[in-house]
Amino acid sequence: MILKTLLPLIVFICIYTKGHTQESSLAFTNTIGHELTKQPHASFVQIVRFKSTLPDSIVFSVIEKRKVEFLKVPGLVQKYYLRDPKTMEFCGIYLWASEQDFLEFKKSDLAKSSAQAYQIDGQARVELYNMIYPLK
């Protein structure tokens, strides 16, 4: 009964606050008081595919070791680590706040050391995209 009474108010608050969030804020509070993190949207995407001469267990260890450094990279909104089950290639999908952030990263020791760290077999394939529209 109480929920039935409060439901119109909760719906109103959700609709009202949706259009009135501060864009500069990375955190805001939902209608029941939980803090939510608002992720900045990426405007540039980098996809890197490669095969490694290392055993899988070592590749996973390298990923784990380098993760701490990637968490510090300015402008890196998110990084996904993937594996193609057909080709057994590894894939990294990087979501960048801007193309400039990606270009700055390319100059870094972390970026320059990737081929050696993962013992890339041949050349990595790199694809670059501008974000058109994020769904969420």
Looking at the structure of the chain, the number of domains it has is 2
Q: Which residues contact 22 (CB under 8 A, 6 or more apart)?
A: 28
Handedness of CA 36, 97, 126, 56 (dihedral sign): negative
Say whether both 81 and 17 belong to one domain.
no
The pLDDT averaged over each successive group of 10 residues in the chain (136 residues) is 40 35 38 49 95 97 96 96 96 97 97 97 96 85
Residues 87 and 125 in one domain: yes
Same domain for 62 and 126?
yes
CATH code at position 95: 3.30.70.100
Same domain assignment for residues 11 and 77: no
Q: Which amino acid is at 5?
A: T
In a shared domain, residues 59 and 80:
yes
Strand stretches in the chain, DSSP E:
27-29, 35-37, 44-50, 76-83, 90-96, 125-130
Give the pLDDT score at 72: 96
Q: Are residues 126 and 65 in the same domain?
A: yes
Long-range CB contacts (< 8 A, 24+ apart) of 61-68? 62/117, 62/118, 66/110, 66/117
pLDDT score for 39: 57
What pLDDT is stored for residue 40 in this prediction? 67
Q: Are residues 26 and 57 in the same domain?
A: no
Task: Give the pLDDT score at 50.
Answer: 97
Q: Which residues of 1-17 are buried (b: 16+ CB within 10 A; e: fewer)?
A: eeeeeeeeeeeeeeeee
Same domain, 72 and 8: no
> Which range marks the domain in which residue 15 is found?
2-37
Residues 75 and 16 in one domain: no
What was the pLDDT predicted at 71? 96
pLDDT at 133: 85
The pLDDT value given to residue 136:
78
Q: Are 120 and 48 in contact (CB under 8 A)?
A: no
